[in-house]
Every structure is written in C-alpha cells, then in structure tokens.
C-alpha cells in the first residue's frame, strides 16, 4: 500500500499546498481519500483525471470536499468522459458541493455510494471499515486494509476511544492535529491537537503516525515534538508530495 499526500493543510490551503487529500494505492487501484481545497491541481500533477478509481470523503466540510466539484468537471466536460467515478461518503455529506453546478450537469460523472458510519465497504482491493468520530458534522473515520497492511484515517475529530479502536495495530495512523498542545475551548471535543494524536497513536499501538490538518502557520517541528512526547514511533507531518510506502 502506498500513500501520497496531495494536501495536508487544515482550514485553508497555504501557498503551494492544499487541504485534505490523500491518494492511497494498492495493486494499481487508486483511491482518493478526501478532496479538500486545491486538491485537483495536486492530483493532476501526478496522474490524469481518468486514472482515479474511487473517492472516499470523510465529512462535508469544504476543506475536505470542495475540490470534488472541479474533479467532476474535469471528468464530465472532457471530450471522452470516463465511466462514473464511485464516490463513498456519509448520507447527505456532499449535497452542498454536488449542488454547485447546473442540475444534472455532473450527474454522469459520479456514482454516489452513501453509507452509514459503522459500515464495512469494499472499495477495489481495500476493505474499508468506517467509524463515527466526534466532529461538528457527521464524520467517518476509515480503516483501510489491503494485503496485510492497514492505514487508519481520522477525518476531523475530537479525542475519542473510537479513534484508538479505529487505529488499533495500524501500520499508519493519519491523524487530524489542528492544534499543537491544546484545543481552544470553542473547539474542544470536535478537533484534536498533535499531543492528542500522539497519545492515541500510542494507545492504539500504531506503527507510524502522520500528523495532518495543521492550522496554517503551525510550526511542523512543534507539532512533531508535541506528539513525540506521547508516542515513541516515527512521526511525520503531511505536506503535498510526501509519499509513505507500507511495504
């Protein structure tokens, strides 16, 4: 399994970067997990738009799904549109982004598979176990298994025993870490810090930790240090172009 980070910014994209978007590949199958702001140009630097096999979206906040609109435009409006793109998400999560264009214009570009958090999905070679995690809007964390490798991704979430269960024994935990040490009072319970991510990676026994969704301007070294105070495994920060192989 190979993860390529297309974007790892929280909230809004920094210069030359993008918000949440992760290309996960196995056996030639290409799954895009989240499609935040500015993901499409990052994707197009690496593959042609028709080479994508499926999309999974954790929740309906635009920093996780806004670029689904240009992605579908790029497929629907080309001279030789590819087959509908399977898109997996929670019921209703994509209603707003799918309503941006003239009704019907993009309908042939996607096949929507809405699921309930807790469902197990088969997406190409991946077994995807989903889990509801606490956020302001419904958010589905996902545990992707293929071969004998496991990647867990939180989407956006406050700290929760469910994050630990999602990541239990995973080879890689990709964890939202919007803040470094403390989550401000108005976001407590709905977002996490790098310290939370480190604590939960340790509790889960995850082999590696990738911190993502840092607020623009956050010092990456400070986030790594905060997580490292709680967790002894390898820690990195998600930025566009980072590749993590899980051989």
CB burial of residue 196 (10 Å; 0-12, 13-18, 19+): buried
Query: Minimal distance in Å, beta carbon 131 to Zn ion?
Result: 16
Cβ-contact 195, 160 below 8 angstroms: no
Q: Which is nearer to Zn ion, 115 or 190 (CB)?
A: 190
From the list 49-57, 60-68, 86-94, 104-112, the region that binds Zn ion by CB under 5 A is 60-68
Q: Which is nearer to Zn ion, 1 or 9 (CB)?
A: 9
| Strand, helix or coil for residue 123 | strand
Tokens encoding 96: 């707003």
Query: Minimal distance in Å, beta carbon 215 to Zn ion?
Result: 12
| Strand, helix or coil for residue 59 | coil
Query: Minimal distance in Å, beta carbon 155 to Zn ion?
Result: 7
Q: Which is nearer to Zn ion, 87 or 106 (CB)?
A: 87
Among the listed residues 197, 190, 137, 135, the one whose alpha carbon sits nearest the alpha carbon of residue 172: 197
d(CA 104, CA 94): 15
Interacting residues of 194 by C-beta distance below 8 A, sequence separation 6+: 177, 179, 180, 181, 211, 214, 222, 223, 224, 226, 227
Q: Which is nearer to Zn ion, 61 or 199 (CB)?
A: 61
Q: Which is nearer to Zn ion, 30 or 139 (CB)?
A: 139
Number of residues that bind Zn ion (CB under 5 A): 2
Which of 6, 24, 49, 61 forms a contact with Zn ion (CB under 5 A)? 61
Q: Which is nearer to Zn ion, 34 or 230 (CB)?
A: 34
From the list 59-67, 114-122, 204-212, 217-225, the region that binds Zn ion by CB under 5 A is 59-67
Q: Which is nearer to Zn ion, 61 or 131 (CB)?
A: 61
Query: Minimal distance in Å, beta carbon 20 to Zn ion?
Result: 9
d(CA 143, CA 132): 12
Within residues 148-207, the interface with Zn ion by CB under 5 A covers 156
Cβ-contact 229, 195 below 8 angstroms: yes
User: What binding mask, one character per residue, do residues 107-136 give for Zn ion by CB under 5 A, x or -?
Assistant: ------------------------------
From the list 39-47, 54-62, 86-94, 205-213, the region that binds Zn ion by CB under 5 A is 54-62
d(CA 210, CA 20): 13
Torsion sign (Cα): 110, 65, 165, 218: positive
* Interacting residue ranges for Zn ion, rule: CB under 5 A: 61, 156
């Amino acid at each position: 399994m190979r993860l390529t980070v297309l974007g790892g910014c929280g909230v809004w994209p920094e210069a030359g970067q993008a918000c949440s978007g992760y290309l996960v590949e196995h056996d030639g199958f290409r799954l895009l997990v989240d499609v935040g702001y500015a993901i499409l140009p990052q994707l197009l630097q690496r593959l042609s738009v028709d080479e994508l096999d499926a999309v999974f979206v954790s929740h309906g906040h635009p920093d996780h799904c806004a670029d689904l609109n240009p992605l579908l435009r790029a497929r629907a409006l080309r001279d030789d549109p590819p087959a509908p793109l399977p898109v997996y998400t929670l019921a209703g999560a994509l209603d707003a982004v799918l309503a941006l264009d003239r009704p019907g214009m993009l309908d042939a570009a996607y096949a929507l598979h809405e699921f309930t958090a807790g469902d197990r999905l088969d997406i190409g070679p991946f077994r995807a176990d989903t889990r509801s995690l606490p956020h302001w809007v419904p958010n589905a964390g996902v545990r992707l298994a293929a071969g004998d490798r496991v990647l867990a991704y939180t989407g956006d979430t406050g700290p929760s025993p469910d994050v630990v269960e999602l990541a239990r024994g995973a080879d890689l935990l990709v964890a939202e870490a919007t803040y470094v040490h403390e989550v401000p009072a108005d976001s407590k319970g709905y977002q996490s810090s790098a310290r939370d991510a480190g604590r939960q990676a340790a509790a889960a026994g995850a082999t590696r930790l990738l911190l993502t969704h840092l607020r623009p301007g956050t010092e990456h070294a400070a986030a790594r240090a905060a997580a490292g105070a709680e967790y002894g495994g390898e820690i990195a920060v998600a930025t566009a172009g980072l590749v993590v192989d899980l051989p």
